[in-house]
Amino acid sequence: MFVDTLSVMDEELRSLMDRSRDEAAGSAAYDLLAATDDNEVLARVLVEPGRPLWA
């Protein structure tokens, strides 16, 4: 049986994004982070103290 790894990863990412969006409750900060292509911005936010779990 052949499983397309990229398809599975895409589905998992979509699931994670959906759950994160729900937890963020429409936060503008979430929308900004979800739209960024800058890995450094994401890395800084993910290690920042006091950030909500969704960030």
**Cα separation of 21 and 30, whole Å?**
7
pLDDT tens, position by position, 15-51: 878 888 888 887 887 888 888 888 888 888 778 888 7
DSSP 16: H
Q: How many CA atoms lie within 13 A of 13 on its CB side?
A: 7
Local confidence band at 53 (pLDDT 50, 70, 90 cut-offs): low
- What are the structural domain ranges in the chain? 5-47
* Separation of alpha carbons 22 and 2, rounded Å: 33
Q: pLDDT value at position 3?
A: 59
Is the pLDDT at 54 greater than 60? The verdict is no
